[in-house]
Amino acid sequence: MTISKISVRDGFVVGDISHRLFGSFVEHMGSTIYSGIYEPEHPESNEEGFRLDVMKYIQALNLGVIRYPGGNFTSGYNWLDTIGPKEERPRKIDLAWRGIEPNTFGIHEFFSWLQLTNAEAIFTVNLGTKGIDEARNIVEYCNYPAGSYWSDLRRTNGQEEPFNIKLWCLGNELDGPWQIGTKTAYEYGRLANEAAKVMKLVDDSIETILVGSSTPRLASYPEWDRIALEEAYENVDYLALHNYIDKYDEDDLTRPPKNERDDTPTYLAKSYRFDRQIEEIIATCDYVKGYLRSDKTMYLAFDEWNVHSQPEKSHNNFEVGSPIDWCYFTMEDTLLFGSLGLAIVRHADRVKIACQSLLVNTIPLILTDKNGQAWRNPTYFVMEQLANHAKGRVLTSQFDGPTYDCEKITDVPVVDHVVVENEDALVLFMVNRSSEEQTVVMDHDFHLAQEGLHTSLKSPNLLDKNLRETPDKIVPTEEKISLETQKQLTISVPSYSWNMVRIEKV
């Protein structure tokens, strides 16, 4: 057994954690909406068609934000198709995901559903096939109180009070060649600037999110971010980051892999890519700030992030709710997912919004079968613990412990960690990337209770999954721990495990 030492001190702080840092994403993609969160025929759905077996799991997550309606879907999205009587809404082809969109779940249904989650909305406007006028009109429809054409149409459609959406994405992944309406960085930056300007003229309380590079895998990264920011810096509030990590290092995650799978040490080390991406984009933002001689600091919205795995249900084109990337996550995937989450928390001083992608049925936290049951991928439990307990501020920490090298990455800490302080407790999150149990000693100067709670997520086999037949194969276990001395906490960290240690302050 090896020993790692983590040192923290009161008052040495990285930054405050935004309540928007632990969010998720629902898109009109595959079976995320239809038979995921919305299935009127399901026996556990309410009168509005919302699956309450799924909602029970969503509510326990305590999410800060939920992004909607996409995603790639939004670049062909016509919001007017989604309002008014359901029987009068058009049934259309969705070109982004090659499905049929019945529009029976639209803007009003989303906000009715959202009220059950207690999360805040992030709404994405179409800057692919639409533009400035559409962006202005949807803000007026959603946020203007009354007495104008679009606000009165909302009221006619049954919503007297405004939806009051405060966060708006200015399109989605418009640097990507896969995107409908792909643009150059300059074209996009000019369009986004004018859209943000007119949207804020309708409602000056809103915040806007500029599309950044879709992935560091594109050759245009991070030059795209620089150019778009130079055009829109003063009229936007956040720059978006997207990234998905898989075992294959393929350029196109939508196709079956051709490369060999990474071994476990390499795969688990790949969370460094999130740290590096965040730091590179911060540097890009700060360069533009200096170049423009601006007093404004640009914050980041990591509004699509996740591990990625190959689908286990087939997709049929031009059907309603045919699955896309419906998959189980293994215990191995879950460990990487935990480290990706920690990378985001570690940069809480600049990352103020983050959305795990996606909530249900597409590389999901929650799985469902049509007309069947709902259950949770093991990644769900990591997200649940972060969203409920990573509150307050991130502490500066010093780590002294074993590291390892692999073919692609060197000097990887065996124990990945973040320490959070809130009003009531000190919380230590850890991922053990090793096949051996680790002893972690946390040295601190806080006044803590003599006992705390250690929650672990682990499984005997790294390829274990929560199947529909065994939905609770991988679930957290808890044990009480005691402080041997007031200033040191010693924890035994199981091999290949996600861990949360929480001790009350006194």
Based on the residue annotation, tell me whether 484 is a catalytic residue of this protein: no
pLDDT at site 486: 82
| Mean pLDDT for the stretch of residues 1-16 | 94
Q: Which residues contact 431 (CB under 8 A, 6 or more apart)?
A: 268, 335, 338, 339, 342, 415, 416, 417, 497, 498, 499
Whole-number average pLDDT of the chain: 97
Which of 390, 422, 454 lies at the terminal end of a domain, its last residue?
Answer: 390
Do 103 and 198 reside in the same domain of the chain?
Answer: yes
| Residue 303 and residue 242 share a domain | yes
pLDDT of residue 379: 98
CB 241 within 8 A of CB 224: no
Provide the domain limits for residue 492: 2-11+395-505
Residue indicated by tokens 């202005």? 136
Answer yes or no: do 97 and 26 share one domain.
yes
User: Is the predicted pLDDT of residue 349 greater than 70, yes or no?
Assistant: yes
Residue 376 predicted with pLDDT over 80: yes
Q: Do 123 and 40 have their domain in common?
A: yes
The catalytic residue among 101, 109, 304, 421 is 304
Q: Are residues 50 and 149 in the same domain?
A: yes
Q: What is the structure's pLDDT at 1?
A: 67
Which of 343, 371, 390 delimits the end of a domain?
Answer: 390
Q: Coil, helix or strand for 310?
A: coil
Angle at 218 between CA 131 and CA 226, to 5 degrees: 60
Question: Binning pLDDT at 50, 70 and 90, where does residue 427 land?
Answer: very high
Q: Distance (Å, rounded) from C-alpha 390 to C-alpha 385? A: 7
109 is catalytic: no
The enclosing domain of 449 has a CATH number of: 2.60.40.1180
- Give pLDDT, residue 253: 74
Same domain, 317 and 418: no
Kindly name the residue from 27, 39, 101, 173 that is annotated as catalytic.
Answer: 173
0.95 exceeded by pTM: yes
